[in-house]
Amino acid sequence: MKAYEQITPEMIQEDMRYLQLLSRNFPTIADASKEIINLEAILNLPKGTEHFLADLHGEYEAFQHVLRNASGAIKRKVNEIFGNTLRENEKKELCTLIYYPEQKLTLVKEVEKDIDDWYVTTLNQLVMVCRNVSSKYTRSKVQKALPKSFSYIIQELLHESTMDPNKQAYINVIISTIISTRRADDFIVALCNLIQRLTIDTLHVLGDIFDRGPAPHKIMDILCNYHKLDIQWGNHDILWMGAASGNTCCMANVLRLAMRYGNMAVLEDGYGINLLPLATFAMETYANDPCTLFGPKVEHGDGTFNEKTLRMMAQMHKAISIIQFKLEAEIIQRRPDFGMDDRMLLHRIDFDRNVLILDGQEYELRDSFLPTVDPKDPYRLTPEEQEIMEKLHHSFVSSEKLKQHMRCLFRYGCMYTITNSNLLFHASVPLNEDGSLKEVMIAGKPYKGKQLLEKVGHLTRTAFFTEEENEDKKFARDYVWYLWCGKDSPVFDKNKMATFERYFLKEKELHKETKGYYYALRNDEKICDMILDEFGVVGPYRHIINGHVPVKTIKGENPIKNSKMMLIDGGFSKAYHSQTGIAGYTLVYHSRGFQLIQHEPFTSMQKAIEEGQDIKSSTQIVEMSTQRMMVKDTDRGRELSARVSDLRKLLMAYRIGLIKEKSI
């Protein structure tokens, strides 16, 4: 009542135009009052659970399992609810059913002798779990998440107490009727999907969905239909966005990485990219070349590829790598302000002696068979290479599936996000050695900090969405490639991407990519505070959350750098497991605080379904509060509180006659 009394007629007069518009949605005192009561109730519910993931790198099975089990939260709920009333194997079976309802039902019906009895028991158990996970939400929010075909029935089961003897028979009849009408399977699937959805309120993906792993397109299918999501672009995502925008350098890099990790299916089956011209050219050009240095990084002996296919991928890998070096030189020469002359290395090769001359030193090439490189004009594409890139360009820009996924990245994504006092971005905010924000020149103008990330985001959108082929679009398209590998790129921020050196030179010191100052300085809490101030992040408990650089847990590295900095790239990609010793992190932010979940490698979806093998995870408490965080303490809560204030003004306007109630 106090807030209501503070509203004056003068305040209402100032907002009269807006209040008139608001009155269209709430035409009476009763309507406005009802909404105020509803919003005030929501403000005093516990905040929803947020999940933070980073660097998924195409690991579809592990990613979807983490989503399905909510980083172990569903298993914890089942243990809390059933405690010692169910045996461990029964709780495991119930969890597996919740994670994979369709597949698990098939297996159960093959072995269960009294399926109706199993249905009764299981439906009651699922209702109990569903009731628990839905308890922190309003009925309205739960209702919106319900499948239409079962909406009324689920609401009845969730909100009627089995402790009431008058209701027990009613609930029993509902369940028995579901079974007798042969709707039990569909109802179980609906309940399990609802439990999964309600356990995770918001998903934050801190970049690098693409490359290395076998199925980024399947991850994107999930994300594009996820109920509440934001994405912070990583360098690998921007590489694909550049390819979809028509940048041939980005296309060549996408192809090279696909060959390197044996992921042709992503391109051919996932996005309909025609690889036949490249394959034909590569097999003819390198017919007598073993291409030893370009063998794909796959698990040999697993039966996925035969020797002939592995050899073809190695040939394609080498062919597209050479094309990539040539295409990149075109941009480097066209954009001298990018400052990447040191990445042009083909003209430094002495083909007579098979050495690379770099900074006065000579380095022997590990592979000197480069039949498509003309020593007199090393960066010129051969007619065959030119034709290949024209066909690939057409495939990339014509792929409807690729366009759909890129539009999803643009719709839900950006360079950074601020949510509930947390600043999320994939990699870096470029810094000087003294810890000050580094000025980065873009088209002759300096940008730093927040302004830099916003400018980069604008250029990325310009490259994709601008239809007219003007100079702005051309520059933006070139700059997207720079973001992938440029030294001042906030999603890369290293002195170089040593692709050529790693392939062709044995000297390890030349393979080293020196990280920008941000990566070391972010360990300093004062630096984190400076960056948080730069982005306008406020609150007593504020954090920066990053991915990009795998945390080498196996060597004792801690992902919690200080009270303000959390690094959650734990290596979802199998390619990183040997470096990190684990298989990814999930950061969970619920009403009690932050927990970091450390995951061990996921075996397979098949074993999870058939044997109940869950991802083994361990939990580290990062930051916990003695008082639960409510919706009113969140960004969403502040929005709702402002709406309550506006509605109270409208209520006053009705009561003093400045706005008349509408007839119904």
Report residue 498 as tokens.
């040593």
Lowest average pLDDT, out of 132-136, 201-205, 363-367, goes to 132-136
Same domain for 499 and 580? Answer: no
Mean pLDDT over 169-195 rounds to: 90
For the chain, give percent helix, strand, coil, nearest 5. Answer: 55, 10, 35
Whether residue 318 is found in the same domain as residue 462: yes
Residues 6+ apart with CB under 8 A from 183: none
For residues 122 and 461, give the distance between their C-alpha atoms in angstroms, rounded to a whole number. Answer: 49
Share of the chain above pLDDT 70, in %: 93
Phi and psi at 59, nearest 5°, equal: -85, 75
Residue 1's pLDDT is what?
Answer: 41
Whole-angstrom Cα distance, residue 446 to residue 344?
A: 26
Question: 578 and 467 in one domain?
Answer: no
Q: What residues have CB less than 8 Å from 508, skipping those under 6 apart?
A: none
Q: Give pLDDT tens digits for 384-411.
A: 999 999 999 999 999 999 999 999 999 9
pLDDT, position 139:
82
How sure is the predictor about 14, in pLDDT bands with cuts at 50, 70 and 90? confident
Per-residue model confidence as pLDDT tens digits over 488-513 = 999 999 999 999 999 999 999 999 99
What pLDDT shows up at residue 603?
Answer: 66
Residue 44 class from Cβ within 10 Å (0-12 exposed, 13-18 middle, 19+ buried)?
Answer: exposed
Number of helices and strands (H, E) in the chain? 31, 17
Query: Is 93 a member of any domain?
Result: yes
Q: What is the pTM of this model?
A: 0.91
Q: Is residue 69 part of a domain?
A: yes
* pLDDT at residue 271 tops 50: yes
The amino acid present at 172, given as its one-letter code, is N
DSSP label at 591?
A: T
Q: Once rounded to an integer, what is the mean pLDDT over residues 316-320? A: 97
Q: Reply yes or no on whether the pLDDT at 633 is more than 60.
A: yes
CA distances 460 to 235, 456, 546, 548, Å, are 12, 6, 20, 19
Same domain (yes/no): 283, 182: no
Residue 620 has pLDDT above 80, yes or no: no
- With a CB cutoff of 8 Å and minimum separation 6, the contacts of 17 are none
Residue 531: inside a domain, yes or no? no
Contact 589, 570 (CB under 8 A): no
Mean pLDDT for the chain?
A: 90
Residue 541 lies inside a defined structural domain of this protein: no
What is the pLDDT at residue 619? 67
* 187 domain-assigned: yes
**pLDDT, tens only, 514-550:** 999 999 999 999 999 999 999 999 988 899 999 988 7
Residues 191 and 248 in one domain: no
Q: 589 and 481 in one domain? A: no
Kindly report the three-state secondary structure assignment for every residue of 451-507. HHHHHHHHHHHHHHHCCCCCHHHHHHHHHHHHHHHCCCCCCCCECCCCHHHHHHCCC
| pLDDT computed for residue 3 by the predictor | 47
Are 196 and 122 found together in one domain? yes
Question: Could you tell me if residue 454 is left (phi over 0), alpha (psi between -120 and 50 degrees) or otherwise beta?
Answer: alpha
Residues 263 and 142 in one domain: no
Contacts of 24 (CB under 8 A, 6+ apart): none
Domain-embedded: residue 436: no
What is the per-residue pLDDT for 2? 46
Number of domains in the chain: 3
- Band (pLDDT 50/70/90 cuts) for residue 338 is very high
d(CA 270, CA 216) in angstroms, rounded, equals: 9
| Residues pairing with 374 in the sheet | 377
Looking at 471, 493, 514, the residue that finishes a domain is 514
Residue 318 inside a domain? The answer is yes
Residue 206: count other Cβ atoms within 10 Å of its Cβ.
Answer: 28
pLDDT of residue 627: 82
Residues 11 and 129 grouped into a single domain: no
> Could you list the residue range(s) of the whole structural domain that residue 40 is in?
2-45+637-655
Considering only residues 332 and 555, tell me which one the structure prediction assigns the higher pLDDT.
Answer: 332
Residue 410 token pair? 């643009």
pLDDT class of 301 with cuts at 50, 70, 90: very low
DSSP 259: H
**391 in Cβ contact with 281 (< 8 Å):** no
Of the candidates 150, 437, 252, 152, the one whose C-alpha atom is nearest the C-alpha of residue 428 is: 437
In this predicted structure, the answer to whether residue 453 has a pLDDT above a threshold of 70 is yes
Residue 8, exposed/middle/buried by CB under 10 A (0-12, 13-18, 19+)?
exposed
Please answer whether residues 198 and 137 qualify as being in contact, where contact means their C-beta atoms are separated by less than 8 angstroms: yes
Domain membership flag for residue 533: no
Span 600-612, average pLDDT: 70
Residue 66 shares a structural domain with residue 39: no
pLDDT at 582 over 60: no
**Contact residues for 567 (Cβ-Cβ < 8 A; gap 6+):** 545, 546, 547, 549, 551, 559, 560, 561
Asked if residue 202 and residue 57 are part of one domain, the reply reads yes
**Do 20 and 68 belong to one domain?**
no
